[in-house]
Structure 1
Amino acid sequence: MAPPKTAATGPDPIDIQVGMQIRARRRSMGSSQSALAEAIGVSFQQVQKYERGANRVSASMMSRIASHLGCRPADLMPTGDGGDAVPLDSAFLSQAGGPELAKAFMSLSPKLRRAIVDLARAMAAAEGS
């Protein structure tokens, strides 16, 4: 079991990953922090804290956020696949085509998403060799 969070250690890495997933999903939809905050009944500052991982997202709040973002709460959780995943964050979404790619990807079935990921990994490996 992981040690409890202390002021010296900062936010739990899982809380940070959840926040990054919320931010990425919100941005891919073209929604603002204020719009999300209004939809879930909190201040935009609270949404900022959720997205940074500074505040943990409760199960009920996760459900409200997921509902507003058009996904399941599980879609906002880290995959735990142990892979070398790169977080989807503002760096990706600020790239040309990033938001459009993220939006299109989220509309695909899980099977097609997996195929796209496999293709992208193969392309990256081929480019690196």
Structure 2
Amino acid sequence: MGTALHRHEAQTDLALRAASYGMAAWAVDGMDVEAVERATGRAVESIRGGGGPHFLEMRTYRFRAHSMYDPDRYRDKGEIERWKTRDPIERLTDRMREDAELVDDELAEIEHRVTEEIDAAVAEAERAPEEPVESLLQHVTSARTEVT
């Protein structure tokens, strides 16, 4: 959970690694919402056009620990604060305000709708029956086939 990629992988460029399997692959600044939109649009267009599988490495930074049980002692707090200056949502809303594409009332309404949607999804998940243990591995691996 807390092992940095460079400490356990010889090749840390995941897009380059994926490309070695013969698929289209590229890295994207995952901290830039509009760059992600452009990259995914490009990939979807290619896939729908018969371009086969694509691998997009969304290079992002996790602001919080992995879980409530993770003390997050392996990262410098200053590093986290530096990355927070690149918060993708704040950067997008700031840019949209500057370009007069978004006003604070609209943002408040969007945030309200998102909160309602999340609350409804959580309530639905809590009402749902638990998954039977015998189906937990369904669709996790493929069935073995004989090679002739």
Higher relative contact order, chain-length normalized (CA < 8 Å, sep 6+) = 1
- Fold shared per TM-score above 0.5: no
Query: Which structure has the highest helix share of the two?
Result: 1
- The structure number with the bigger radius of gyration is 2
Q: TM range, normalised to the smaller chain? A: under 0.3
Query: Which structure has the highest strand share of the two?
Result: 2
